[in-house]
Structure 1
Amino acid sequence: MTAPIDHIVFDIGKVLIHWDPTIPYQRIIPDADERRWFFENVCTHDWNMEQDRGREWPEAEAELIEKFPDHADNIRAFRQNWHEMVVPAYLDSVAVMESLIEQGRDVTMLTNFAADTFRHAREMYPFLNKPRGVTVSGEVRLIKPDIEIYQRHTQEFGLDPAKTLFIDDTAINVEGAKKAGWQAVQFTGIDTLRADLQRYGFSV
């Protein structure tokens, strides 16, 4: 630790709320092998990341339906059933974030998230409105771990990078924050999060 922390930045998916796109498809495509093939070849991780980068859903769906017309309904089902993919909230992590806010700490969020689904998430989970602000990849058309999104967040919210602590579940996003001059820890569970924050001098 090279500087005291003045700013705490939370990732959202798998830190504050769950994220598993297979959840509704256990109902939609009951056969496990077919479901695995669908996610490996049709609605892939890379395809979904482009929505996080700012691509609109109609364009994303049209691209896949052209390639896989027999799977059109299952492709459209991704956005239609998205709300099932982000359940539940991680209430222990949320309580930590809310405690920091109540203590008067400067808390913001930085997330890879499609713009429209993030608006939906805010309706589902009002605690996402409690931090001072948020940078959403789909809105700014930048994505973690690109250094530009960390720099934009710093500029937007007036953060001192050396005095900023980032909490993210993904190692490459943690490394991206460090390259931007932030301090950062990887979220692996609530006990580790509390221990990390205590190391930085926070009581949670």
Structure 2
Amino acid sequence: MAETYEPRRTAVLLVDPYNDFLSEGGKVWPVVESVAEEVGLLDNLRAIVGSARRSGVRVVFVPHRRWEPGDYESWDHPNPTQRNIMVRHSFAKGTWGGEFHPDFQPEPGEMVVHEHWAQSGFANTDLDTRLRQHGISRVILIGLLANTCIESTGRFAMELGYHVTLVRDATAAAKREMMHSAHELNGPTFAHAILGTKELLTALRGEGSGA
């Protein structure tokens, strides 16, 4: 059965749309560039965000912690990604790399939730509270990275009782194998729907209501 998305109960979660991830010259862009260009990431993100806004689906910005001097240095157990951030200073606060890509700027009234320290956009943030206060029961995950923050946020959403949609070509990763794992191996264990951008856009334009 085709997926349907009732606008008032659906949100697009745009995860980590930073210049460092999405823009030429960004610190992490060279890591994801090949896969991102192969799937048409930027055009697909633009299409989904634009369609969501036109259809009345909420767009929610789910940003990673913007690095500041001293972050993680005194932690007992920083994870491998956090150790890389300590060296690379990804998404550094007050820098161009730590700003959202110019094509993905919050519009008036759109939520920008608390920054996540690790990989889940729900852990230790206000995302769940704010979604529930707006009656959201379905979440569509797009952004970076497929096998880390997208997967972790999607799993956490499922555990909290949300209907979870992944979008194969509206995310990227460092390797094709990581994309395959995220969507073909791991995604089916927690996501309720795994679509391509074209399928999702059709669903967002469609009639009917989703629970």
Q: TM-score, normalised by structure 2?
A: 0.47
Write 1 or 2 for the structure with the bigger share of strand: 2
Pick the structure with greater CA Rg. 1
TM norm structure 1: 0.48
